[in-house]
């Protein structure tokens, strides 16, 4: 089983890409929707909540956990990997996104993200580890996540907010990173406003990189169950999760386990 942790439903866009590219495996997804959105929290709380969620998954028997949240990855992954769970396998979504930038040969890119991810310079830092000559312009769009989590994927309010924030990017950016896992849900609207601009979806890139990771780590791959099943946990309202989550995954979520924190 491949295990995912996210602050709520945005990470379902990552799960969706994994299921498309690696459909034979079993998956478990835990959304901490009782305490979302993480992007509005201070750094210490983000790390604490992420640590608690990941610890829960390891207690359930997880061998490898994907942080399907840019904010959680930016604030907690190094601590979790190096300090809290040094003997466990934890992967995030920001590094595959950053690698796509350098592999694509881009010299100037935009990043649309949450306040917290921008404040943490998540993509700027990770891209510059590989190539510090690439110019990164990061813009925060704090209004988007609450709209998406309310199930509002389109409409006048969404279009106005997107137009406002996307209009802040320099005209010569060569690609745009969707720096929040919620944003692939509204990708069509982004492409309408910025036609012909390459869009980098770290969720898709993570699925591609994870497929390569399994080839390099056959000892992990051989222990992953292959029934094509998915189970869900949420810390919040199961009805809301099932309704909105089914829209994102484009298939019904038949069962979800409530996990009061």
Residue 139 neighbours by CB distance under 10 Å: 17
Output the six-digit token pair for 6.
Answer: 């996210």
* Active-site residue, selected from the candidate residues 28, 36, 100, 180: 180
pLDDT (0 to 100) of residue 261: 66
pLDDT (0 to 100) of residue 88: 95
For the purposes of burial, counting CB atoms within 10 Å of the CB of 158, is it exposed (0-12), middle (13-18) or buried (19 or more)?
middle
Residue 150: partners with Cβ closer than 8 Å, 6 or more residues away: none
Task: Give the mean pLDDT of 251-258.
Answer: 90
207: three-class secondary structure by DSSP: helix
Q: Give percent of the chain above pLDDT 70.
A: 100
- 100: phi then psi, degrees, rounded to nearest 5: -65, -35
69 is catalytic: yes
Q: What is the pLDDT of residues 52-62, one digit of tens each?
A: 999 999 999 99
| Domain 2-93+204-258 is found in CATH 3.40.50.1860 | yes
pLDDT (0 to 100) of residue 42: 87
Q: What is the pLDDT of residues 77-128, one digit of tens each?
A: 999 999 999 999 999 999 999 999 999 999 999 999 998 889 889 899 999 9
Q: What is the pLDDT of residues 151-174, one digit of tens each?
A: 889 899 999 999 999 999 999 999
Average model confidence (pLDDT) for the chain? Answer: 94
36 is catalytic: no
Say which residue the tokens 């390099």 belong to.
Answer: 216
Residue 53 region, left (φ>0) first, then alpha (ψ -120 to 50), else beta? alpha
Residue 40: partners with Cβ closer than 8 Å, 6 or more residues away: 114, 115, 116, 142
Exposure on the CB side of residue 165, measured as CA atoms within 13 A: 24
pLDDT (0 to 100) of residue 40: 79
116 within 8 A of 38, measured Cβ to Cβ: yes
Model confidence at 144: pLDDT above 90: yes
DSSP secondary structure letters along 185-233: GGHHHHHHHSTT--EE-HHHHHHHHHHHHHHH-HHHHTTS--S--EEEE
For the chain, give the number of residues.
261
Residue 56 neighbours by CB distance under 10 Å: 19
Model confidence at 67: pLDDT above 90: yes
- 4: phi then psi, degrees, rounded to nearest 5: -125, 140
Distance CA 87, CA 76 (A): 16
pLDDT (0 to 100) of residue 41: 85
pLDDT (0 to 100) of residue 116: 86
Distance CA 106, CA 220 (A): 33
* Active-site residue, selected from the candidate residues 28, 36, 69, 100: 69
Residues forming beta bridges with residue 199, ordered by sequence position = 176
pLDDT (0 to 100) of residue 254: 80
Q: Give span(s): CATH 3.40.50.1860, the chain.
A: 2-93+204-258, 95-202
Q: Which of 72, 64, 115, 120 is nearest to 93 (CA)?
A: 72
pTM, full prediction: 0.95
Exposure on the CB side of residue 207, measured as CA atoms within 13 A: 19
* H or E segment to which residue 89 belongs: strand 89-92
Residue 246 neighbours by CB distance under 10 Å: 14
**Which CATH fold topology does 95-202 show?**
Rossmann fold (3.40.50)
Between the alpha carbon of residue 58 and those of residues 3, 52, 226, the distances in Å are 9, 10, 19
């Amino acid at each position: 089983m491949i295990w995912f942790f996210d602050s709520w439903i945005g990470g379902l866009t990552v799960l969706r890409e994994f299921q498309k590219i690696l459909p034979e495996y079993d998956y478990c997804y835990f959304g901490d929707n009782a305490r979302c959105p993480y992007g509005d929290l201070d750094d210490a709380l983000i790390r604490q909540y992420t640590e608690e969620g990941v610890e829960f998954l390891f207690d359930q028997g997880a061998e490898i956990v994907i942080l399907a949240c840019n904010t959680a990855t930016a604030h907690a992954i190094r601590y979790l990997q190096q300090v809290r769970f040094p003997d466990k396998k934890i992967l995030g979504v920001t590094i595959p996104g950053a690698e796509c930038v350098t592999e694509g040969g881009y010299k100037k890119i935009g990043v649309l993200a949450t306040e917290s991810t921008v404040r943490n310079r998540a993509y700027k830092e990770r891209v510059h580890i590989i190539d510090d000559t690439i110019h990164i312009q990061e813009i925060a769009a704090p209004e988007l996540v609450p709209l998406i989590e309310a199930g509002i994927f389109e409409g006048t309010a969404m279009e106005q907010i997107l137009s406002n924030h996307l209009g802040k990017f320099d005209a010569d950016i060569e690609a745009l990173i969707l720096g929040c896992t919620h944003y692939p849900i509204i990708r069509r609207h982004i492409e309408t406003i910025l036609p012909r601009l390459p869009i980098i979806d770290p969720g898709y890139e993570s699925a591609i990189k994870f497929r390569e990771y399994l080839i390099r780590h056959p000892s992990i791959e051989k222990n992953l169950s292959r029934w094509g099943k998915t189970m869900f946990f949420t810390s919040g309202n199961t009805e809301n999760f099932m309704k909105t989550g089914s829209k994102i995954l484009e298939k019904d979520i038949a069962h979800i386990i409530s996990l009061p924190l």
